[in-house]
Amino acid sequence: MADNRAKTVLVLGATGHQGGAVARQLLNKGFKVRAVTRKPESVAAKALSALGVEMIQADMGEEAAMSGALKGAWGAFSVFTMAEKGVQWEEEQGIKFAAAAKNAGVEHFVYSSVSAADRHTGIPHFESKRRIEQKVAGLGFKFYTIIRPVSFMENILNPRTWPGIEAGRLVMGIRPDAKQQLIAVEDIGKFGALPFVEPEKTNKQAIEIAGDELNVNEMAMALEKMLGKEIKVIPVAMDEVRKAMPDFAKMIEWIDSNGYNVDIDGLVNKYGIRPVTFKQFLAKLKLPSGAR
């Protein structure tokens, strides 16, 4: 195994789900991991620091902060979300960070995008990620890799979703019989760290990743088995979703009619990583407070 101790990787979003999973995988592989946070006193930041992550207090929306955090880094893992300040902000920050990484001399850049980003879905936060991908590909990094995850299994733990599940209701906008692919954040961490471990194997690739494929009715059945009680599927009226979250509504309609098409078995054959299924994810899940 290569000696990674001299290689520093800056991980964005390390106090969140994706970045945190990648940071832990990189630590396990012997890399030096650096992360940025606006709140170094937060529980998540302290936990990472205790593991050996170098925590830097900064706002990555500022160019000077980007340059400082990237100084001396061999690699960088980038992930942005529209949830904080919208699609335009996400795109602008994703492009700025990639350019800053190139200017700082980063050799290996990994960007976490979204599955089907290249399929012209018309979904705003898919299209914006595709434009970031194109920027990354054109900057001339020695190594770069795009990771494209599908929807997260962890979405069922969303505060807007899990209380309903506890009460016996799975409220979903997606059609109950429509297949959708899911992935656990833990597996995004494995695939996100892989390019740094095996750069030649993944260089200039866009890797579509998923762990399972099932419909909402099948999700409800799996939850019933785990919780030991009936879970009824409650469809959400799409008119309401369109009014409240038009971007999200477009994604739901696309999943209903098209959807992700990751070759899950092919991932195992090509990269040697077997993602967990939804049932396996539930079996190892630490349930939110109050769940049984």
- Residue 242 forms part of a structural domain: no
Round to whole Å and give the CA distance between 49 and 23: 11
DSSP class per residue in 180-241: EEEE-HHHHHHHHHHHHHSHHHHTTEEEEE-SEEE-HHHHHHHHHHHHTS--EEEEPPHHHH
Q: Which domain holds residue 144?
A: 8-151+184-210+261-275
pLDDT computed for residue 59 by the predictor: 80
- Residue 129 forms part of a structural domain: yes
Q: Which amino acid type is present at position 172?
A: M
Please list the pLDDT of the chain residue by residue as tens digits (292 residues). Answer: 467 778 999 999 999 999 999 999 999 999 999 999 888 889 999 999 999 999 998 887 778 888 899 999 999 999 998 877 889 999 999 999 999 999 999 999 999 999 999 999 999 999 999 999 999 999 999 999 999 999 999 999 999 899 999 999 999 999 999 999 999 999 999 999 999 999 999 999 999 999 999 999 999 999 999 999 999 999 988 888 888 888 999 999 999 999 999 999 999 999 999 999 999 999 988 665 444 4
- Residue 137 forms part of a structural domain: yes
CA distances from 286 to 18, 216, 261, 289, 290 (A): 18, 21, 29, 9, 11
- Residue 159 forms part of a structural domain: no
3-class secondary structure for 165-193? HHCCEEEECCCCCCCEEEECHHHHHHHHH
CATH code of residue 135: 3.40.50.720
- Residue 254 forms part of a structural domain: no
- Residue 162 forms part of a structural domain: no
Round to whole Å and give the CA distance between 180 and 150: 9
- Residue 289 forms part of a structural domain: no
Asked whether 113 and 132 are in contact (CB, 8 A), the reply is yes
- Residue 27 forms part of a structural domain: yes
Q: What is the pTM of this model?
A: 0.93
> What end-to-end distance do the CA atoms of the chain give, in Å?
42
The number of distinct structural domains making up the chain is: 1
